[in-house]
Chain A
Amino acid sequence: IAGITQAPTSQILAAGRRMTLRCTQDMRHNAMYWYRQDLGLGLRLIHYSNTAGTTGKGEVPDGYSVSRANTDDFPLTLASAVPSQTSVYFCASSDSLAGGYNEQFFGPGTRLTVL
Chain B
Amino acid sequence: DAKTTQPNSMESNEEEPVHLPCNHSTISGTDYIHWYRQLPSQGPEYVIHGLTSNVNNRMASLAIAEDRKSSTLILHRATLRDAAVYYCILRAVGRGAQKLVFGQGTRLTINP
Q: Which residues of A contact B (CB under 8 A)?
A: 31, 33, 35, 40-45, 48-50, 56, 58-59, 90, 92, 94, 96-97, 99-109
Contacts and interface: CB of A to CB of B under 8 A. Distances in A.
Contact of B44 (A96, A102, A106): A106
Contacts of A59: 101
A113 B95 CA distance: 35
B96 A45 contact: no
A113 to B, nearest CB: 15
Given A92-B44, A104-B100, 20 more contacts: A31-B97, A31-B98, A40-B104, A42-B102, A45-B99, A45-B101, A48-B97, A56-B97, A92-B43, A96-B96, A99-B94, A101-B32, A101-B93, A102-B98, A103-B46, A103-B49, A104-B36, A106-B43, A106-B44, A109-B43
Given A42-B103, A42-B105, A106-B45, A96 B87 contact: no
Contacts of B93: 100-101
Nearest to B102: A42
Chain B, interface residues (CB within 8 Å), range: 20 to 34
14 contacts: A42-B87, A42-B102, A42-B104, A42-B105, A44-B102, A58-B99, A90-B44, A92-B44, A94-B97, A99-B94, A103-B46, A104-B44, A108-B43, A109-B41
B98 A107 contact: no
